């Protein structure tokens, strides 16, 4: 007889591929074989194509538009201008920041490549040809591209449409180019700390305008079915449900008649949070023509007209004692929002979570004030692994700490260690109003220092500097340290909403009779691997192997309402909803098991993938057996089936953190900076899938390298955008990318059901200051306190030259 031994506990755990397993990405079989289904893969019968006529000017009045030649081209179906949208009241659309944005330019253009007319044609080539045939007569106006001049008395009036609007979303407007003033903290207290301080430092720290530049550009297919009145919208949406609600509000199509689908998305990085004119124009064109319309941007359109990132001018001031105890922080930000305030922040926070800028430090008093201004640049603002402006906040404080260390002649690590929030201070109430959930910064920093042999590096640097001075080398070594504190997982509904929609998230689970399952979430993966990792959370909660769980996101007709994926919120919020919905399944499963085993529920205990009778593990029912019973037995007092849904409103955000150390070698004669090594320790609480986390960190660090070392979307005085194509905009390849060394500590979140914190944006938050600090540190002994990013070869060479170091 063949007696099979039952699988051991370890084997059963292994089979689940639950929490902590480096399960391979289930998405990749599709992606690596060209079987993804992106927006541009959607082809519907009779589909037409849209393309935009865009402004060549940064600021100009539109005197006339002549469509005749374009309409005469065979294959052209329509040319829409603002005049056509006005009767529908759709020539402006609401932005996520309480402003309005022109869908098609109304009398004026306000940034280069702004949408002026929408051509609809039988194929995209005809549409492109017709774009060239639309004649627009412009009268050029003086452009405003320097945010520091936006509120000058003689600054040009940009937004004529709101010139009489005295109130911004957050208080009175001070000037016709002023958007908002927003502040947090104790200004008098911070000023007093500075006035009383033994040592102070001050610096203007600019985080340049950059762009997330996802591989797939933005696009959509709009299909209005005139027979049943249903509008279906496939698009590059990071928040499909919110798009559905906004679409219903602005078109008056009832929400149940709108179906929004985010298919596979080829990278979002925040670029796909906003609503763009292309979506509206495609929907309008489809409603009017009754046929499907596709619109997909090209690379230049994406880089120059969709959500940019950063463009923050931050004046930081730190007060400290002579021995390096920080006593206060004061920061003012001039925020360049471009021509329309289309910043995608939770509505109450026009500067996002910038007020996490006290960072990892126990700073007794702090103040931030932010003024947003209009300029003749593309709108947007929050994108690019930013955690709602945490990137800017971390950059400011981590640069200021290095500047203070220099003034105090103290090692920047020692200064950090001295001011870190201590482990026993958590939960920690920051001076700017946040409650940090958990952290152990000293342990993380020490592990980082030991891993890279920090002291040996400093010794080597001292030798390098001496050798440089003796003329034996032309390279300077720089060591950059950063310790960041992130804030991710918006939520709580009481603090965070988008246009009134509270930022909860959701998961709905349905167990099938044979013991497999489908889970649907309100979030949407853009490459983060949700289908892999959220099944893992569930596997550990309900004892069904991850491979037997289908995960679905992005279709508003089937997924429960959620606020989408950005701000690294999926794990903190939808991940929590997944665990909670799983627990509801388990609670019902327990009742079923009790009935089947003829015991009281309290006599059962959960064990990996089953309920067993306490003290008698042989008497058990596996989740698979319970699933079948739920469909097959009439259990008194219970409905058939096994389903659950959770809408999760997190009690707080999560505060991941990390310690990064970077070593660079700068060639002073060429400005070429070689990243010799980069060590990144991340603590994101309980780790669901270590391999996916590592992938997230590698991607985020590569984007940090891109920003710190080369990316820049700048404008000349007349409003021409520079860096608007990949000829000028730096996108690192494997050639420029160094080897990333990753590490971790694990400090669970006390309020998240499985203790997990987000991680998707952390490497960008910490990576940029570490790289920037390293480059500046290379010159610190020659008197350099700060230099402007990006640290491209030219700028670094100019720095060397200004310090008298070039040959
Ligand atoms: N994860 C984990 N354990 C944790 C935390 C996260 O295993 N403790 C896993 C998650 O389960 C998920 C991934 O790591 O599979 C990222 O999770 P999370 O930090 O919750 O972030 P989101 O899923 O909400 O993704 C958003 C975040 C943002 S805001 C940007 S911007 C960014 C980023 O993700 N855009 C990306 N990483 C990206 N990665 C890819 N490939 N493409 C993008 O567009
Ligand atoms: Cu701020 S970029 Mo991400 O939040 O999608």
Query: Is the residue at 536 inside a domain?
Result: yes
Last residue of a domain, one of 594, 627, 648: 648
The answer to whether the Cα torsion of 399, 405, 408, 414 is positive or negative is: positive
Looking at the fold, whether 276 and 336 belong to one and the same domain comes out as no
Atom nearest to 529 CA in ligand 1 = 15
Q: What angle do the packed helices 576-597 and 530-542 form, to 10 degrees? A: 30
Q: How confident is the model at residue 2 (pLDDT cuts 50, 70, 90)?
A: low
pLDDT on residue 1: 55
pLDDT on residue 315: 98
The per-residue pLDDT of the chain, averaged, comes to 97
Looking at the fold, whether 590 and 693 belong to one and the same domain comes out as no
List, as one string, the DSSP characters of 707-726.
HHHT----B-TT-PBSS-ST
Q: How confident is the model at residue 462 (pLDDT cuts 50, 70, 90)?
A: very high
Range of the domain at 81: 44-141+217-265+272-305
Indicate which residue of 386, 496, 507, 684 is catalytic. 386
Atom nearest to 762 CA in ligand 1 = 19
User: Could you tell me where the DSSP H helices lie in 561-689?
Assistant: 576-597, 623-632
Q: CA 496, CA 748: separation in Å to the nearest integer?
A: 23
Ligand nearest to the CA of 269: 1
Cβ of 386 less than 6 Å from ligand 2 = yes
Atom nearest to 756 CA in ligand 1 = 8
Q: Of 573, 760, 764, which is best to mutate to test ligand 1, by the most ligand atoms within 8 angstroms of its C-beta?
A: 760
Query: Is the residue at 187 inside a domain?
Result: no
Cβ of 723 less than 6 Å from ligand 2 = no
| 3-state secondary structure at position 35 | coil
Query: Is the residue at 167 inside a domain?
Result: no
Q: CA 538, CA 758: separation in Å to the nearest integer?
A: 17
Say yes or no to pLDDT of 167 above 90: no
pLDDT in tens, 775-787: 999 999 999 999 9
Q: CA 357, CA 351: separation in Å to the nearest integer?
A: 11
Give residues with Cβ within 8 angstroms of 252, minimum separation 6. none
Q: What is the DSSP letter of 3?
A: P
User: Could you tell me where the DSSP H helices lie in 409-559?
Assistant: 412-419, 441-452, 454-469, 530-542
- Indicate the length of the chain as a whole number: 807
Looking at the fold, whether 31 and 69 belong to one and the same domain comes out as no
Indicate which residue of 385, 399, 687, 795 is catalytic. 385
Pocket around ligand 1 at a 6 A CB cut-off: 267-270, 385, 526-530, 533, 565-571, 684-689, 692-693, 696, 699, 756-761
Last residue of a domain, one of 257, 286, 305: 305
Q: How confident is the model at residue 312 (pLDDT cuts 50, 70, 90)?
A: very high
Residue 535: which CATH number? 3.30.365.10
Q: Of 213, 344, 528, which is best to mutate to test ligand 1, by the most ligand atoms within 8 angstroms of its C-beta?
A: 528
Looking at the fold, whether 637 and 598 belong to one and the same domain comes out as yes
**Whose C-alpha lies nearest to ligand 1, atom 2?**
688
Tokens of 633: 């037995």
Please compute the mean of the pLDDT values over residues 301-312 and round it to a whole number.
Answer: 98
Q: What angle do the packed helices 576-597 and 623-632 form, to 10 degrees? A: 70
Cβ of 384 less than 6 Å from ligand 2 = yes
pLDDT in tens, 488-513: 999 999 999 998 999 999 999 999 99
Cβ of 361 less than 6 Å from ligand 2 = no
- The phi and psi torsions of 371 (rounded to 5 degrees) equal -115, 125
Atom nearest to 567 CA in ligand 2 = 4
pLDDT in tens, 61-110: 999 999 999 999 999 999 999 999 999 999 999 999 999 999 999 999 99
Do 451 and 765 form a contact (C-beta atoms < 8 A)? Answer: no
Query: Is the residue at 500 inside a domain?
Result: no
Q: CA 757, CA 744: separation in Å to the nearest integer?
A: 13
Strand partners of residue 202 = 317
Indicate which residue of 238, 461, 526, 612 is catalytic. 238
Cβ of 270 less than 6 Å from ligand 2 = yes
Ligand nearest to the CA of 238: 2
Say yes or no to pLDDT of 690 above 70: yes
Looking at the fold, whether 478 and 551 belong to one and the same domain comes out as no
Residue 83: which CATH number? 3.90.1170.50
pLDDT in tens, 406-447: 999 999 999 999 999 999 999 999 999 999 999 999 999 999
Looking at the fold, whether 585 and 673 belong to one and the same domain comes out as no
Q: How confident is the model at residue 169 (pLDDT cuts 50, 70, 90)?
A: confident
Query: Is the residue at 333 inside a domain?
Result: yes
Looking at the fold, whether 295 and 257 belong to one and the same domain comes out as yes
- In angstroms, what is the span from residue 708 Cα to ligand 1's centroid? 21
Please compute the mean of the pLDDT values over residues 117-124 and round it to a whole number.
Answer: 98
Q: Which residue has the tokens 């949208």?
A: 85
Ligand nearest to the CA of 488: 1
Query: Is the residue at 146 inside a domain?
Result: no
**Whose C-alpha lies nearest to ligand 1, atom 21?**
568
pLDDT on residue 3: 72
Looking at the fold, whether 383 and 363 belong to one and the same domain comes out as yes
pLDDT on residue 509: 98
Indicate which residue of 115, 184, 216, 761 is catalytic. 761
Atom nearest to 214 CA in ligand 1 = 44
Give residues with Cβ within 8 angstroms of 3, minimum separation 6. none
Give residues with Cβ within 8 angstroms of 638, minimum separation 6. 588, 591, 592, 595, 630
- In angstroms, what is the span from residue 565 Cα to ligand 2's centroid? 8
**Whose C-alpha lies nearest to ligand 1, atom 13?**
528
pLDDT in tens, 337-386: 999 999 999 999 999 999 999 999 999 999 999 999 999 999 998 999 99
From the list 370, 372, 385, 301, the residue with the least C-alpha distance to 339 is: 372
Ligand nearest to the CA of 686: 1
Tokens of 224: 């209005």
- In angstroms, what is the span from residue 805 Cα to ligand 1's centroid? 43
Ligand nearest to the CA of 273: 2
Q: CA 135, CA 462: separation in Å to the nearest integer?
A: 64
Say yes or no to pLDDT of 238 above 90: yes
- In angstroms, what is the span from residue 212 Cα to ligand 2's centroid? 9
Cβ of 265 less than 6 Å from ligand 2 = no
Q: Report how far apart, in Å, the C-alpha atoms of 483 and of each of 421, 599, 758, 763 are.
A: 12, 53, 17, 11
Cβ of 268 less than 6 Å from ligand 2 = yes
Q: How confident is the model at residue 708 (pLDDT cuts 50, 70, 90)?
A: very high
Tokens of 180: 């908002």
How many domains does one find in the chain? 3
Q: Which residue has the higher pLDDT, 2 or 545?
A: 545
Q: Report how far apart, in Å, the C-alpha atoms of 707 and of each of 63, 140, 314, 528 are.
A: 39, 32, 17, 21
Q: What angle do CA 568, 572, 573 make, to 5 degrees?
A: 100
**Whose C-alpha lies nearest to ligand 1, atom 32?**
269
pLDDT on residue 547: 98
Atom nearest to 568 CA in ligand 2 = 4
Cβ of 92 less than 6 Å from ligand 2 = no
Please compute the mean of the pLDDT values over residues 14-36 and round it to a whole number.
Answer: 97
- In angstroms, what is the span from residue 764 Cα to ligand 2's centroid? 11
Last residue of a domain, one of 630, 648, 666: 648
ipTM over 0.95: yes
pLDDT on residue 18: 98
Ligand nearest to the CA of 570: 1
Query: Is the residue at 679 inside a domain?
Result: yes
Cβ of 383 less than 6 Å from ligand 2 = yes
Cβ of 700 less than 6 Å from ligand 2 = no
Say yes or no to pLDDT of 635 above 70: yes
Residue 386 catalytic? yes
**Whose C-alpha lies nearest to ligand 1, atom 14?**
693
Looking at the fold, whether 678 and 592 belong to one and the same domain comes out as no
Looking at the fold, whether 685 and 787 belong to one and the same domain comes out as yes
Q: How confident is the model at residue 307 (pLDDT cuts 50, 70, 90)?
A: very high
Q: CA 205, CA 399: separation in Å to the nearest integer?
A: 8
Give residues with Cβ within 8 angstroms of 195, minimum separation 6. none
Looking at the fold, whether 644 and 676 belong to one and the same domain comes out as no
Q: CA 445, CA 404: separation in Å to the nearest integer?
A: 19
Q: How confident is the model at residue 677 (pLDDT cuts 50, 70, 90)?
A: very high
Looking at the fold, whether 519 and 607 belong to one and the same domain comes out as yes
pLDDT on residue 807: 76
């Amino acid at each position: 007889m063949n007696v099979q031994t039952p699988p051991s506990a370890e084997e059963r755990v292994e089979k689940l591929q639950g929490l902590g397993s480096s399960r391979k990405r289930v998405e990749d079989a599709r992606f690596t074989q060209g079987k993804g289904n992106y927006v541009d893969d959607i082809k519907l019968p009779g589909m037409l194509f849209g393309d935009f006529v865009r402004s060549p000017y940064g600021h100009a009045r539109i005197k006339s538009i002549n469509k005749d030649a374009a309409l005469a081209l065979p294959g052209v179906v329509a040319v829409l201008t603002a005049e056509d949208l006005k009767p529908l009241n759709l020539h402006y659309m609401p932005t996520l920041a309480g402003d309005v944005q022109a869908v098609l330019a109304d009398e004026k253009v306000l940034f280069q490549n702004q949408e002026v007319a929408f051509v609809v044609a039988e194929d995209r080539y005809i549409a492109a040809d017709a774009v060239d045939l639309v004649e627009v007569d412009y009268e050029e106006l003086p452009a405003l591209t320097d945010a520091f001049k936006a509120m000058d008395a003689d600054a040009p009036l940009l937004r004529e449409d709101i010139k009489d609007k005295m109130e911004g979303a957050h208080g009175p407007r001070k000037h016709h180019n002023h958007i908002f003033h927003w502040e947090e903290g104790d200004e008098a207290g911070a000023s007093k700390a500075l006035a009383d301080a033994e040592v102070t430092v001050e610096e203007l720290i600019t985080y340049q305008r950059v762009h997330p530049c996802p591989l797939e550009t933005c696009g959509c297919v709009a299909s209005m079915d005139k027979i049943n009145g249903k509008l279906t919208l496939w698009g590059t949406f990071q928040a499909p449900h919110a798009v559905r609600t906004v679409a219903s509000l602005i078109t008056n199509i009832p929400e149940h008649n709108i179906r929004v689908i985010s298919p596979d998305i080829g990278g979002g990085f925040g670029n796909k949070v906003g609503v763009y004119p292309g979506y509206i124009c495609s929907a309008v064109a489809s409603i009017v023509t009754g046929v499907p319309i596709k619109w997909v941007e090209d690379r230049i359109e994406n880089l120059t007209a969709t959500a940019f990132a950063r463009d923050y001018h931050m004046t930081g001031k730190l007060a400290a004692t002579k021995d390096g105890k920080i006593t206060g922080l004061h920061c003012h930000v001039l925020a360049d929002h471009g021509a329309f305030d289309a910043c995608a922040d939770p509505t109450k926070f026009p500067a996002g979570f910038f007020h996490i800028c006290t960072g990892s430090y126990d700073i007794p008093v702090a103040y931030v004030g932010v003024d947003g201004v209009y300029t003749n640049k593309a709108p947007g603002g929050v994108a690019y692994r930013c955690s709602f402006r945490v990137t800017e906040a971390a950059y400011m404080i981590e640069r200021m700490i290095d500047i203070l260390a220099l003034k105090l002649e103290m090692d920047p690590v020692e200064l950090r260690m001295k001011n870190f929030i201590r482990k026993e201070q958590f939960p920690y109430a920051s001076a700017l109003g946040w409650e940090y959930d958990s952290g152990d910064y000293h342990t993380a920093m020490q592990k980082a220092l030991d891993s890279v042999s920090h002291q040996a590096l400093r010794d080597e640097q001292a030798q390098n500097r001496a050798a440089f001075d003796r003329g034996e080398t032309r390279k300077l070594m720089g060591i950059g340290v950063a310790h960041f504190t992130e804030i991710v997982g918006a939520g709580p509904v009481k603090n965070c909403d988008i246009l009134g929609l509270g930022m909860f998230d959701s998961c709905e689970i349905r167990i099938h009779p044979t013991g497999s399952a489908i889970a649907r979430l309100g979030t949407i993966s853009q490459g983060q691997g949700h289908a892999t990792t959220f099944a893992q959370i569930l596997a550990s909660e309900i004892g069904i192997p991850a491979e037997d769980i289908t995960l679905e996101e992005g279709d508003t007709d089937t997924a429960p309402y959620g606020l989408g994926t950005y701000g690294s919120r999926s794990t903190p919020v939808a991940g929590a909803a997944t665990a909670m919905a799983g627990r509801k399944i388990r609670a019902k499963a327990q009742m079923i098991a009790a009935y089947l085993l003829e015991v009281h529920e309290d006599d059962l205990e959960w064990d990996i993938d089953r309920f067993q009778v306490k003290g008698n593990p042989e008497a058990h029912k596996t989740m698979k057996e319970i699933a079948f019973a739920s469909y097959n037995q009439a259990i008194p007092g219970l409905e058939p089936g096994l389903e659950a849904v959770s809408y999760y409103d997190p009690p707080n955000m999560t505060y991941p953190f990390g310690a990064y150390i970077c070593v660079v070698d700068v060639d002073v004669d060429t400005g070429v900076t070689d990243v010799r090594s980069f060590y990144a320790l991340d603590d994101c609480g309980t780790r669901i899938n270590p391999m996916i986390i590592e992938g997230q960190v590698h991607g985020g660090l590569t984007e940090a390298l891109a920003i710190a070392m080369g990316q820049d979307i700048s404008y000349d005085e007349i409003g021409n955008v520079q860096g608007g194509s990949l000829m000028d905009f730096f996108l690192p390849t494997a050639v420029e990318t160094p080897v990333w060394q990753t590490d971790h500590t694990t400090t669970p979140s006390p309020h998240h059901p499985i203790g997990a914190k987000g991680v998707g944006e952390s490497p960008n938050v910490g990576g940029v200051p570490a790289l920037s600090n390293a480059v500046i540190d290379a010159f610190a002994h020659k008197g350099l306190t700060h230099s402007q990013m990006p640290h491209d070869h030219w700028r670094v060479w100019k720095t060397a030259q200004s310090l008298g170091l070039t040959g």
